[in-house]
Amino acid sequence: MKSLFYVNNVLFHCLILNRRNLPEIEIQHQNKHMRLPCKLMIAVLLAAIGVGAALAQTHKNHHPALHRLTKTDREALVSVALSEHVQQEEDESDCSHLVHAIYETAGFPYAYAPSDDLYVGIASFQRVKAPLPGDLVVWRGHVGIVIKPSRHTFFSSLSSGPDTDNYNSPYWKRRGQPRFYRYIKSEFARGAD
């Protein structure tokens, strides 16, 4: 309790008394004894705030490695997407049903959601800034699967049927900034491995 009183007293002197127009002798006396504790207290508080913010951000975006798709998982998604069987079978499917079917076929189930819901975000996917193969690329009203991020290619149900396109092309840029989402393996999906 005594140390808490001391901390409050130091903060009070640092923040309040040193700013008032008190007699010069009293301020000099306080400054002489309080300068180092004030600086230390402020430094400790700023460090604690910085560390707390960094930990909160890390915890917010952290998913254990076991819940992320591996390189092999991403390759399987891309392989299923580009397979002739999927393209023929899903020829008349809309984009969100096509993407859902590809994830299901590759062994990564999630509750079906239309592209507008995917754009906002659903529990089975985590929003990411830099896409990897197999991630979702989503606009309001359209969704696809990233095939090769370095070339900005994705696979989806297009007006000509299931095919690949460049998400940086003028057509897709007019639709707005896409969002990218990465699948998070659920308990069910991990049990299937």
Strand-pairing partners, residue 142, are 139
pLDDT score recorded for residue 161: 87
Please identify which residue in the block is written with the tokens 């009203």: 141
pLDDT score recorded for residue 13: 55
pLDDT score recorded for residue 99: 95
**Two tokens, residue 186:** 């659920």
Separation of alpha carbons 142 and 177, rounded Å: 12
| Sign of the CA dihedral with 143 first, then 135, 129, and 63 last | positive
pLDDT score recorded for residue 15: 52
Find the distance separating the first CA and the last CA of the chain, reported in whole Å: 55
* Cβ proximity of 96 and 118 under 8 Å: yes
pLDDT score recorded for residue 34: 61
**Two tokens, residue 96:** 């969100």
pLDDT score recorded for residue 20: 52
pLDDT score recorded for residue 185: 87
Single pTM value for the model: 0.64
pLDDT in tens, the chain (193 residues): 555 445 455 555 555 555 555 455 455 555 556 666 667 667 665 666 665 655 555 444 554 544 788 999 999 999 999 987 666 565 557 899 999 999 999 999 999 999 999 999 999 999 999 999 999 999 999 999 999 999 999 999 998 889 999 999 999 999 999 999 999 987 544 434 3
Separation of alpha carbons 102 and 100, rounded Å: 5
Separation of alpha carbons 121 and 13, rounded Å: 48
Domain chopping of the chain, boundaries: 2-60, 68-192
* Cβ proximity of 105 and 98 under 8 Å: no
pLDDT score recorded for residue 188: 46
**Class for the domain spanning 68-192:** alpha beta
Q: What is the DSSP string of 33-92?
A: HHHHHHHHHHHHHHHHHHHHHHHHHHHHT---GGGBPPHHHHHHHHHHHH-HHHHHHTTT
